[in-house]
Amino acid sequence: MKKKKFTAAVHLLLLALVGFIPTNQAITTHLLPLPTISRAIAGIDHPSHGKKNHCRISPYPDPIAFQQPDGRSFSAFLLTEGPSAYLETLDGYTILLDPTDGYYRYATRGSKGDLALTGVAVSAIAERIPTEILLLTQILRPHLRYEGARLQELVANDQQKDLTLPVVTGSIFPPAGNQRALLLLIDFPDQPFTYTTADFNNLANQAGYNVNGNSGSFKDYYRDISYGLLVIDTDVSGWYRAANNQSTYGIEDLANRNFSNAIPLVREAVDAAEAAGVDFSQYDGDGDGRVDVVEIIHSGRGAEESGNVADIWSHRWALSSAGLQVTYDGKQVNDYIMQAEKLGATNIANIGVLVHEFGHALGLPDLYDTDGSSSGLGRWCCMAGGTWNNNGRTPAQFSAWCKAQLGWTTPTVLEGTGNITGLNFSDASDEVYRINTPDPDEYFLLENRQKTGWDTNIPGAGLVIYHIDESQNSNANENRPLVDLEQADGNSNNSGDTGDLFPGSTGNTSFSCATVPNSNTYSNFSPTSMCPTLLQ
């Protein structure tokens, strides 16, 4: 889009939140008389920003139950930082799986920055014996991570994966229109499927899908958040049987979260579907000679919520990374997304992971902090931790930035001063405002988020202010992310709470170059004459 010039009138903008309360109502805001409001798409033509993006789902945010070989049980958190995942007890001690006997044991610092096993098996906090307590309180440190040479090795391995994936210059799946998608089901000789093809047809397509408390189907979600612009009918085929047992395709260890083992499984599913008569030519919605994306669901659980290294971590990737792309029915089959059949030991998966991974097929990046040092957009966006809202049953909407990238909303660019009334909540309206800054890469987006519809389980309600920096291609840099949430309470210490949106639990109705948070660019360009007071 053509950038609008940030005039002095805009820098003196006053927006008073008169009577603004977090309810399921339109927000009424007031500015001085506004001579110009223009409509323009916020963002760039290609949502992926040309990023080589091997996209893993964020880990399950709640405690996970584990059982030791002797029957003892305990709970732990699964956390990520950089390329690695870590298991931590509820009080923060890092633990590792001992492959020799299947016990989870406390970790200590190894050589060259590695982690090493102690000889002490993990117990539930209330059941710890004196020697275990002594080890934790006198010897070990909590929150151990790979560092030094070992961390450099892991990062290099992860970056090497990027080199195997072609640059994605836009969505691989059309973001609008009535489209068809293909979902293939595959199980393992030692892990046969539990849920039927009909079950997954319902999860994908059924209007008002509510199994296990889901708030709708995959189709419902995308129809709703796109305001009816994208309607996806999914053809479900399978179950097919893999050639090998489940662990053959698993991540092997949490240090690498290696999903390369899973790529042959995708090819097996594609080959089986071809043999069964699936016509791949039906799934090239943009007519570029390639199947837009193949969705794969495998039996069992995903490593992102089981913590089990024999499982596969749900992700988006491409067959070409292993030289396994293939052409069937005149269409190249390459791009895929993969997730598990179940969430937990028995329940069918909820829709959260599927809608998140499909967001990558539309060209969107992860908006959680992929190096694990912060929460990114947290529970406010499905491309971040909002995947897991209501245990994945009610994933959050996409943020206003995501919707603008996909053409589902056309932000109103504010120029000059004036009145704005009736900023409708985004579950029912595509209304978004954009305010430019002196930096052509930086701008703010404003939307009204309320706890209704797909946003029922977001942490709070009110006016959202996003700080966009298109010089970045992800949220990996917590000090300068692509899409940042200006948190009304000035804190950035969790994945979302009632203090984040304006006015929020702190009653904050001010946002300017002199407030916390502030409206400055990352270069702190804020002389007095260029200090926009966006809220007052």
- In contact, 510 and 502? CB cutoff 8 Å: no
Domain boundary among 152, 176, 201: 152
Residue 449 lies in a domain: yes
Same domain, residue pair 133 and 73: yes
With tokens 């979302």, the residue in question is: 496
Same domain, residue pair 99 and 221: no
Residue 208 lies in a domain: yes
Same domain, residue pair 121 and 71: yes
**Cα distances (angstroms) measured from residue 189 to each of 241, 300, 314, 338:** 7, 12, 20, 19
Count of domains observed in the chain: 3
Residue 44 lies in a domain: no
With tokens 């919707």, the residue in question is: 403
What pLDDT does residue 25 have? Answer: 45
Same domain, residue pair 352 and 231: yes
- In contact, 355 and 392? CB cutoff 8 Å: no
Q: What ranges make up the beta strands (E) of 418-461?
A: 420-423, 433-436, 442-449
Half-sphere exposure in the Cβ direction for 522 (13 Å, CA): 18
Same domain, residue pair 315 and 234: yes
What pLDDT does residue 3 have? Answer: 34
Same domain, residue pair 263 and 177: yes
Q: What are the DSSP calls for 60-120, one per residue?
A: P-S-EEEE-TTS-EEEEEEEEETTEEEEEETTS-EEEE-TTT--EEEEEE-GGG-EEEEEE
Domain boundary among 119, 152, 185: 152
Which residues constitute the domain of residue 93? 64-152
pLDDT in tens, the chain (536 residues): 333 333 322 232 333 332 333 334 444 443 332 223 232 322 323 344 444 445 889 999 999 999 999 999 999 999 998 889 999 999 999 999 999 999 999 999 999 999 999 999 999 999 999 999 999 999 999 999 999 999 999 988 887 766 555 554 456 899 999 999 999 999 999 999 999 999 999 999 999 999 999 999 999 999 999 999 999 999 999 999 999 999 999 999 999 888 899 999 999 999 999 999 999 999 999 999 999 999 999 999 999 999 999 999 999 999 999 999 999 999 999 999 999 999 999 999 999 999 999 999 999 999 987 655 556 799 999 999 999 999 999 999 999 999 999 999 999 998 766 556 668 888 889 999 999 988 889 999 999 999 999 999 999 999 999 999 999 888 878 788 899 999 998 887 677 888 889 998 889 888 888 888 988 888 876 534 346 566 65
**Cα distances (angstroms) measured from residue 422 to each of 17, 26, 28, 426, 450:** 12, 5, 5, 12, 14
Sheet hosting strand 36-39, strand order edge to edge = 36-39, 412-415, 433-436, 442-449, 462-469, 483-485
pLDDT tens-place string over residues 504-534: 888 988 888 888 898 888 887 653 434 656 6
Phi, psi dihedral angles at 422 (to 5 degrees): 70, 55
What pLDDT does residue 328 have? Answer: 99
Predicted structure pTM score: 0.89
What is the identity of the amino acid at 253?
D
Same domain, residue pair 264 and 412: no
Residue 46 lies in a domain: no
Domain boundary among 152, 178, 207: 152
Residue 38 lies in a domain: no
Same domain, residue pair 399 and 257: no
Residue 223 lies in a domain: yes
Residue 14 lies in a domain: no
- In contact, 259 and 441? CB cutoff 8 Å: no
Same domain, residue pair 346 and 201: yes
Same domain, residue pair 140 and 222: no
Same domain, residue pair 316 and 217: yes
SS3 assignment, position 420: strand
Residue 257 lies in a domain: yes
Same domain, residue pair 125 and 267: no
